[in-house]
Structures are given as structure tokens and as C-alpha cells.
């Protein structure tokens, strides 16, 4: 018996709804406690679904955490791509922070509880690597940096094809490192202040990568 298109779409909608429910439950729980203290039992209880339903979609809490943070990571990647690619000459830059950098830090602040748990010392190594790779891929694709690889920039949605691009890896590690340090300290500065402090460092990096290294 063949499956009709409408029943297939209905099944897809149910899957999306169930996953969204589980992800929202985890996000809510992580705002209350560290990720390391959240169990599958906590998630299914908050989501009001069965344990078997959870395992139909995710292997464990860490896999759910990666899925739950994907849409927010996509927002963050948008901020990286929005950074002005013109800053090769810092003297021509306007004073003040980048609006895109301010948005980058504001994004972290808005979801501070989640990111503090996911990126902190008791967080998920898989999520940390996921964020790092997505940010590096965005930096590679954005045109801000003179990449150290001649290949075509990969899609930002798929980090598997990212070549060995040292400047992109550097800016990704720097941005994530600075944001994580800020989060773990309780966000002592505002997103705008963080943007103003980070801007000259990013400008220096951008200016320094305009000349490709000699092989």
C-alpha cells in the first residue's frame, strides 16, 4: 500500500512538532540548571511525551542540545556574515561598534543560560564543535578574510566541506572564545561594549589577512 503525499506531509509535520516540543523543553530546562544536570527523564517530563518518543528522535540529551541550538546558531551565523567586509583600511572605519557585532553579542546575552551551559566547562563538546565549525564556515564564506585556500566557499549550512582556512578558523575561535568568556563571567559588559572592544581586534585581523602568505 503506497503512502499518499498528504499522509507523508502530515507525518513530517508531526515529527517537526515533536522535535520542536522536545527542543523547547530542553531550552527551558537549561535556563534553570546546567546542561549536565538535565536528564532524558527531565526532558520528557517537561515536554509531556514518552521516553520512547524521545529516543525515536534523539540518542541523548547532548544530541537534542545540538538540535535545539541549531536555529539560534543560524541567527548567529547571520551576524558573522553581516560584518562589514570593507574594513581592510581601519582608518576609513566609522567610530563606534559594529551593529552586527553588537547583534552577535546580544544574541548570546538573550540566550545566556543556554549558551553558558552548552559552551561552558560542563557543556557539550559536540555543540562546541558544531558552533565553531558553523562560525568558521561563515567566516570563510563571508569575504571578510583573504582565505588561505583557493577552493570555492562551501555552503554555511554544511561545514563538512570547509577547507583548511587558517584566518576563518582563527576568527571563529576568537569570536566564540570571547563570547564564551563573557558568558561565563556573567556578561559583565553590555553587548555594545563588547562590540566596541572586539571591533579593533577584528579590524586588525582583517587587515592582516588581506595579503596572502607566501607558500
Measured CA to CA, the distance from residue 47 to residue 102 in angstroms comes to 33
| Percentage of the chain lying above the pLDDT 70 cut | 69
Could you please report the per-residue DSSP string of 35-68? GGG--HHHHHHHHT--HHHHHHH-SSHHHHHHHH
- Per the domain annotation, does 214 fall within a domain? no
Q: Which residue has the higher pLDDT, 188 or 91?
A: 188
Specify the length of the chain in residues: 215
pLDDT one-digit tens code per residue, 82-93: 665 454 444 555
What mean pLDDT value characterizes the chain?
77
Structural domain count, the chain: 1
Domain range enclosing 91? 5-208
Residue 107: inside a domain, yes or no? yes
Question: Is 213 among the domain residues?
Answer: no
pLDDT band at 45 (very low <50, low <70, confident <90, very high): very high
Residue 28: inside a domain, yes or no? yes
Q: Is residue 156 part of a domain?
A: yes
Alpha-carbon distance of 186 to 62, in angstroms, equals 23
**Whole-angstrom Cα distance, residue 207 to residue 146?**
9
In a domain, 97, yes or no: yes
Does 215 reside within a domain? no
pLDDT at 161: 64
- What pTM value is reported for the model? 0.68
**pLDDT at 188 (0 to 100):** 96
> What sign does the CA torsion over 83, 85, 88, 90 have?
negative
Neighbours of 100 (CB within 10 A): 15
Residue 12 scores a pLDDT above 80: yes
Residue 107: name the closest of 139, 78, 143, 138 by CA. Answer: 78
Q: Extract the C-alpha cell encoding 148.
A: 588561505
Judging by beta carbons within 10 Å of its beta carbon (0-12, 13-18, 19+), is residue 17 exposed, middle or buried?
A: exposed
The answer as to whether 128 is a domain residue is: yes
Amino acid at each position: 500500500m503506497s503512502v499518499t503525499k498528504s499522509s507523508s506531509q502530515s507525518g513530517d509535520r508531526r515529527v517537526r512538532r515533536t522535535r520542536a516540543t522536545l527542543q523547547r523543553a530542553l531550552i527551558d530546562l537549561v535556563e534553570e540548571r546546567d546542561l549536565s544536570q538535565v536528564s532524558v527523564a527531565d526532558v520528557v517530563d517537561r515536554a509531556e511525551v514518552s521516553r520512547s518518543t524521545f529516543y525515536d528522535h534523539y540518542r541523548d540529551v547532548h544530541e537534542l542540545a545540538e538540535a535545539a541550538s541549531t536555529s539560534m546558531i543560524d541567527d548567529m551565523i547571520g551576524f558573522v556574515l553581516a560584518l562589514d567586509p570593507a574594513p581592510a583600511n581601519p582608518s576609513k572605519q566609522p567610530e563606534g561598534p559594529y551593529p552586527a557585532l553588537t547583534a552577535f553579542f546580544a544574541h548570546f546575552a538573550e540566550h545566556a543560560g543556554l549558551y553558558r551551559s552548552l559552551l561552558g566547562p560542563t557543556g557539550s563538546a559536540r555543540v562546541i564543535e558544531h558552533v565553531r565549525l558553523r562560525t568558521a564556515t561563515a567566516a570563510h564564506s563571508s569575504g571578510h578574510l583573504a582565505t588561505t585556500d583557493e577552493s570555492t566557499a562551501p555552503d554555511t549550512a554544511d561545514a563538512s566541506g570547509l577547507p583548511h582556512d587558517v584566518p576563518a578558523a582563527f576568527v571563529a575561535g576568537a569570536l566564540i572564545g570571547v563570547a564564551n568568556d563573557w558568558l561565563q563571567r556573567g556578561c559583565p559588559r553590555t553587548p555594545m561594549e563588547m562590540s566596541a572592544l572586539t571591533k579593533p581586534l577584528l579590524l586588525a585581523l582583517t587587515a592582516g589577512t588581506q595579503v596572502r602568505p607566501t607558500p
